[in-house]
C-alpha cells in the first residue's frame, strides 16, 4: 500500500502509471479499496438534476457507507446525513448557487466584526458591515452627521465687538449632541 496516495485523486487526473497501479489495487478487497470505491460512487451524487433522485441516491449511499465497517467513511456518512437538507438545497436551487460566494461573504463579515471590537455601538459595526459588503442594500442614513437640517448647525453670528454671540455657544452644544 505504500506509495499509493493516488487513491485520493480523481480517475481523470491520474497518470498512465497510476492508472495501471490503481487497476492492480482494485483486484484486492482491502478497506482502502472499498473506501476509494465509496468515494468515487459519492461523486455521482453531484450529477443528479432532480432533488428527489438525489435524495434517494444519498440515502442509499449512506446506508452502504454505514455498512462498510470503515470508521472514517461511517463518520463522513453521519455528517452527510446531518446535512442532508442543506445538500439537497443545492438541487432545489437548480445548481445555480455555489456555497463559495456565501463562504466569501461570511469571511468578510467575520473579519469586519473582528475589527469592530473597538466600536462603541452595534450600529457603527452594522454600518461597517454595510460598507465592506458593498452591493448590499445600504441603510437610509449612512452616518448621523450627514443629517441635513433647515438651518446650518454652525451659523455663527458675531457681535459688533468681535466676540461670538450666545447663538454660537448654543449651536456648538447642539453639534456636540450628535
Q: Would you state the pLDDT for residue 27?
A: 74
Letter string b/e over residues 97-119, b meaning 16 or more CB atoms within 10 A of that residue's CB: eeeeeeeeeeeeeeebeeebeee
Distance CA 52, CA 2 (A): 41
* List of the chain residues with pLDDT < 50: 151-159, 161-175, 178
- Pair (117, 173) in one structural domain: no
Residue 13 belongs to domain spanning: 5-92
The contacts of residue 77 (CB under 8 Å, 6+ apart) are 61, 62, 65, 66
- Residues 46 and 16 reside in one and the same domain: yes
pLDDT tens digits for range 126-143: 888 878 877 655 556 555
User: Domain tally for the chain?
Assistant: 3
Q: DSSP state, 10?
A: -
Query: Is the domain of 105 the same as that of 177?
Result: no
Note whether 83 and 124 are same-domain residues. Answer: no
Residues 135 and 173 in one domain: no
Same domain, 10 and 85: yes
Q: How far apart are CA 87 and CA 104, in angstroms?
A: 18
Q: What sign for the dihedral angle of Cα 141, 144, 150, 155?
A: negative
Q: Is the pTM of this model over 0.95?
A: no
- Residue 59, pLDDT score: 96
The reply to whether 16 and 85 lie within a common domain is yes
- How far is residue 59's CA from residue 77's CA, in Å, rounded to a whole number? 10
Contact partners, residue 18, CB within 8 Å, separation at least 6? 6, 9
pLDDT tens digits, residue range 72-86? 999 999 999 999 999
Amino acid at each position: 500500500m505504500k506509495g499509493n496516495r493516488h487513491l485520493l485523486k480523481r480517475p481523470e487526473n491520474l497518470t498512465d502509471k497510476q492508472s495501471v497501479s490503481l487497476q492492480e489495487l482494485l483486484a484486492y478487497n482491502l478497506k482502502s479499496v472499498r473506501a476509494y470505491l465509496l468515494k468515487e460512487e459519492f461523486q455521482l451524487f453531484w450529477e443528479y438534476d432532480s432533488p428527489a433522485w438525489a435524495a434517494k441516491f444519498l440515502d442509499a449511499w449512506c446506508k452502504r457507507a454505514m455498512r462498510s465497517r470503515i470508521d472514517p467513511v461511517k463518520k463522513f456518512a453521519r455528517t452527510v446525513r446531518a446535512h442532508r437538507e442543506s445538500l439537497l438545497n443545492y438541487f432545489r436551487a437548480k445548481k445555480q448557487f455555489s456555497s463559495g460566494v456565501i463562504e466569501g461573504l461570511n469571511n468578510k463579515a467575520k473579519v469586519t466584526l473582528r475589527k469592530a471590537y473597538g466600536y462603541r455601538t452595534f450600529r457603527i459595526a452594522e454600518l461597517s458591515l454595510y460598507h465592506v459588503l458593498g452591493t448590499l442594500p445600504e441603510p437610509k442614513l449612512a452616518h448621523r452627521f450627514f443629517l441635513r437640517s433647515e438651518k446650518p448647525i454652525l451659523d455663527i453670528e458675531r457681535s459688533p465687538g468681535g466676540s461670538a454671540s450666545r447663538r454660537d455657544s448654543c449651536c456648538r452644544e447642539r453639534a456636540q449632541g450628535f
